Amino acid sequence: MKSGQYIPGNSIIHSLDPRTKLLGTVFLLSLTLSTDNFIRLGIIIFVLSLMIILAQLQLRYVLGQLRPLIWFLIFTFLIYLLPVSAYSLNQRLCLGTLFTSKLIVLVLFVSILITTTPELDLVHGLEYLLSPLKKIRLPVQDLVLIIYLSLQFIPVLHEELQSIYGVDIKSGNILNRLRHLLPMLIIVFRNSFEKADKLAFDLTSPNYPFSENATKLRMTIKDYLFLGLLGIILVVFGTHKIFI
């Protein structure tokens, strides 16, 4: 199972309107970024866990989305331990843990959005939400097309990078390793650009399903219940902010 790609399913999260999932994701990302203590973060993690269950995603797969970022997360945590501020070591540990945990939650929320929403539905939902910007002559459809191409290109680049895994470049000094790695990277990017060129050619076809009417968006009672749940979370956060 490849990371960063849509996984078909019949779960509650899968059946939600893409606009609902986009709005919900932006809302939850905003709450996560504004979180400044572990109690509020715990509430968000509970919501995240509930969404993983409702989406019927394997926990092993969801956590696997963090694998490419593991060193970045470790580096971020270690930065907070440096004695460059007036905070004590315990305070720096708490701050580092809180910030790193927030990064992990952000990545997992986005991962749930991508894996439970077809790319075209995601793009059309985004175009619908951004449609008011057309009144001020912003090229919304061009922007959405760029996002769609980016979503299409991510798995292509991932496949090409996977093709060089397992190749032995550990022998010799650093110069020899770089000398062996460079030709492989050239091949990876050449193949990626060839596939990108083919994708661009396909987009010019009148039969390609990227059009304003390709996807019919329709909100149901489940969407309104989900948005209502987000409203309850907002009230809980606001109450906690006032009384604690």
148 and 186 together in one domain: yes
111 and 2 together in one domain: yes
100 and 4 together in one domain: yes
207 and 145 together in one domain: yes
N-terminal to C-terminal alpha carbon distance within the chain: 44
Percentage above 90 pLDDT, the chain? 27
Burial of residue 175 (number of CB atoms within 10 Å: 0-12, 13-18, 19+):
exposed
Query: What DSSP designation does 160 have?
Result: H
Residue 14 contacts residue 116 (beta carbons within 8 Å): yes
164 and 108 together in one domain: no
98 and 25 together in one domain: yes
52 and 139 together in one domain: no
Domain count within the chain = 2
Domain range enclosing 94: 1-117+218-244
What is the spatial distance between Cα 180 and Cα 173, in angstroms, rounded to a whole number?
11
What's the rounded mean pLDDT across residues 109-135?
85
pTM beyond 0.95:
no
Among 48-57, 185-194, 230-239, top mean pLDDT goes to: 48-57
152 and 72 together in one domain: no
pLDDT tens digits for range 144-175? 777 766 666 666 565 655 555 555 444 555 56
